Amino acid sequence: MFNPDPVIRSVPICAGHSCYVIDNALADPDAWVERAVRHRADFAMEGHNAYPGIELAMPDGISERLRDFFAVHIRQRLGARRIQRAHSRLSIVTLPPAQLQPRQWICHRDRMGLGPEHAVGASVLYLFQDAALGGTNFFMPKRPALDIDLLVHESGTLDSAAFARKYGVARGYLTESNDWFEKVAHIEPRWNRAIFYDGTLFHCSDIPAPERLSEDPARGRLTLNGFFHCTRRAG
């Protein structure tokens, strides 16, 4: 599934954190696009997360191979120890800005309800050729943690008008800094590029040209996403 001899490049995000970039990650990336095309009817919008598009959960066997790659090449770099669970999915960003809900106007963290003794690794593997579909952005909060926590909470409870009025956040994909978050890193997309990072950092898909989005796996912003719940290494 994966390139057996990956070259891993470290891109700084903020103090103590980096994104690990691997080009030519898959041995046969075209097969993954073909898989997505074959299963196009099985993609669906999920209500349990804020992903602005359609998703297809991967079988346990795929998640296990992704987990094995993470364990060998990335786990220690992210300060993780034992991997407790891994899951993966194919994803396609599809929503136009006018259809986004407030929680999709801001960046997010993959916290999975876990405490500070746990680490969450995350990965994105770009399976599209059109770089204009966008890569991944990372952010740091500009406000105190309590204010940020309330913003995040109310992005899921207030309606669009009330959220915009209270927080001054514009409807649409977050591509640059705003009054609440400073953009600190950007990873350009590239065909068959994988990135791994600490999912508890604020991040989001970079969607600079939403008019180019498509539900067609062969044309749209198709990615293979992985999530790794781990215990955190002491110290």
What would the pLDDT profile of 146-169 be if each residue is shown by its tens digit? 999 999 999 999 999 999 999 999
In Å, what is the CA distance from 60 to each residue of 26, 37, 105, 143?
18, 20, 31, 39
pLDDT in tens, 36-77: 999 999 999 987 788 999 999 999 999 999 999 999 999 999
Relative to beta strand 118-126, strand 221-232 is antiparallel
Closest C-alpha to 127, from 62, 35, 33? 33
pTM: 0.95
